[in-house]
Amino acid sequence: MSKRFQAPRGTFDILPAEAERREATYLVAAELFARAGYGRLETPAFEDTELFARGVGEGTDIVHKEMFTFTDQGDRSLTLRPEATAAICRAYIEHGMHRLPQPVKVWSWGPYFRHERPQAGRYRQFHQLDAEVIGSDSPLVDAELIMLLDDLLRGLGVPGLRLRLSSLGTPASRAAYREELRAYLRAREGKLAPEVRERISENPLRAFDSKDQATREVMGEAPLMVERLDQPDAEHFAEVRSLLDQAGVPYVLDGTLVRGLDYYTRTVFEFESEALDAQAATLGGGGRYDGLVEAIGGPATPGCGWAAGIERILLALDAPEPEPLADVFVAAPSEQGARAFALVQELRGAGLRAELDLAGRSLKGQMKQADRLGARRAVILDDEGKAEVRDMTSGEQEELDLARAVEALSR
Ligand code: ATP
Ligand code: MG
């Protein structure tokens, strides 16, 4: 026997019922973004490796160990995109979008790739919905973005939602805090997990993200950046909170919140669901990245955005598979197959969901199939060129004038 193949580890097929649930989520998002004036922007599935190394940050888990990187025939190092923001900022610069009226508001939807240990809600190819606002440092932007994600998750009916919010200040105010945190961590080095200890110099804030119990205890007492903000950062953060308060968006202030990407400044946030496992409970998150555009070669430009994981949203929703639904099933004895085929084409052309037998079933078998497909009505063609229509719910049956089939079946 020849080798049987499986989808690569950490990837999955999207089967039709699942595709329908995704499509429904997509449509809710598209509608929300249209109302808020966001345009669609899609970037390629791979980019120059250097873009992510610089844009996401060398000290991050993503760049350290999660990227799918390869060398192409021209000896260029390319990487399957692990996240959206760096590439969207690259596109903003490349297309001179700083010359457009600011800010530029965009959203995107598509696959992303990270080499992680697969588990529920954690895959090697997954999908993100992403929103970015580039070119304004107003706290209105932070609040609008947070409220969009809040609206989306609530609108979809995600249970047990929790929004955590904090501020990381600016690189200047963070430098002094970093030193303070490094000293705090070094004094407690023996209690820290090895991977945290190794990165005290490079990225001490990552210690807050550790899942290790002893490390978590140490971090519970650690000094917090949100308590060390300078005046402008503190005012910016107070304004964001006040806008959310006025809008009635509930959140928890959480000074231990840091994000897995180096480029964040000021506001950071994450939405979680109680319906998900602790290991993959975050539905989406984001924040402000006022230094990113400049860091990848553009003019100094503020920005803010978020990304939400589609698989985690669907997992938290745990909605039932949608029922199949057809308007009409056209049944016919086998020798009338061509007429059934023509009628189905005519009905589909008129906008009806029409189906026919494709498996040589008997008439009785065809009526069973009509039922399975959730057809509201069945048209039954006979050998004399006549037809009847049956209401599949009531079982009532009457003659159908085939010259007026579309009109009668559209009712
Ligand atoms: P986590 O802490 O769970 O690893 P993260 O901070 O790495 O998340 P982000 O980079 O903020 O995640 O990505 C935004 C969202 O994308 C996450 O909140 C999550 O819903 C989703 N996501 C991230 N990585 C994966 C993955 N490997 N599989 C499925 N969804 C993912
Ligand atoms: Mg991660």
Per-residue pLDDT reduced to its tens digit, 14-36: 999 899 999 999 999 999 999 99
**Pocket (CB within 6 angstroms of ligand 1):** 83, 114, 116, 121-123, 126, 128, 260, 280, 282-285, 307-309, 311-312
Residue identifier of the C-alpha nearest atom 21 of ligand 1: 309
Q: Determine contact, residues 88/293, Cβ cutoff 8 Å.
A: no
Q: Report the separation in Å between the CA atom of 309 and the middle of ligand 1, taken as the mean of its atom positions.
A: 6
* 63, 80, 128, best to mutate for ligand 1 pocket (most atoms within 8 Å of CB): 128
Taking the centre of ligand 2 as the mean of its atom positions, its distance from the CA of residue 62, in whole angstroms, is 7
Torsion of CA 400, 405, 407, 410, to 10 degrees: 90
Task: Name the nearest CA neighbour of 163 among 241, 97, 105, 235.
Answer: 241
Query: What mean pLDDT do residues 217-231 have?
Result: 94
Instruction: Check whether 374 has a pLDDT greater than 90.
Output: yes
Ligand nearest to the CA of 117: 1
What's the pLDDT tens digit per position in 401-410?
999 999 999 9
Kindly report the pTM of this predicted structure: 0.92
Q: How confident is the model at residue 175 (pLDDT cuts 50, 70, 90)?
A: confident
Choice from 312, 313, 315, 317 to test ligand 1 binding pocket (greatest atom count within 8 A of CB)? 312
Predicted confidence at residue 260, as pLDDT, reads 67
Token pair 């900022």: residue: 89
Residue 36: the pLDDT is: 98
Two tokens, residue 203 = 């990225």
Stronger pLDDT, 64 or 373, i.e. the higher one: 373
Question: In terms of pLDDT, which residue wins out, 175 or 78?
Answer: 78
Shortest-distance atom of ligand 1 to CA 283:
20
Report which ligand 1 atom has the smallest distance to the Cα of 271: 18
Percent residues over pLDDT 70 in the chain = 99
154: its two tokens: 């609530």
Q: Which ligand is nearest to the CA of 114?
A: 1
Tens digit of each residue's pLDDT (9 = 90 or more) over 234-254: 999 999 999 999 999 999 999
pLDDT tens-place string over residues 79-130: 999 999 999 999 999 999 999 999 999 999 999 999 999 999 999 999 999 9
Q: Report the nearest atom of ligand 1 relative to the CA of 66.
A: 27
Q: How far apart are CA 292 and CA 299, in angstroms?
A: 10
Task: 29-34: list long-range contacts, CB under 8 Å, 24+ apart.
Answer: 29/107, 29/109, 29/129, 29/152, 32/148, 32/151, 32/152, 32/155, 33/107, 33/131, 33/148
285-298 per-position pLDDT tens digit: 999 999 999 999 99
- List alpha helices for 118-170, DSSP H: 139-156
Share of the chain above pLDDT 90, in %: 87
pLDDT reported for residue 289: 96
CB 148 within 8 A of CB 32: yes
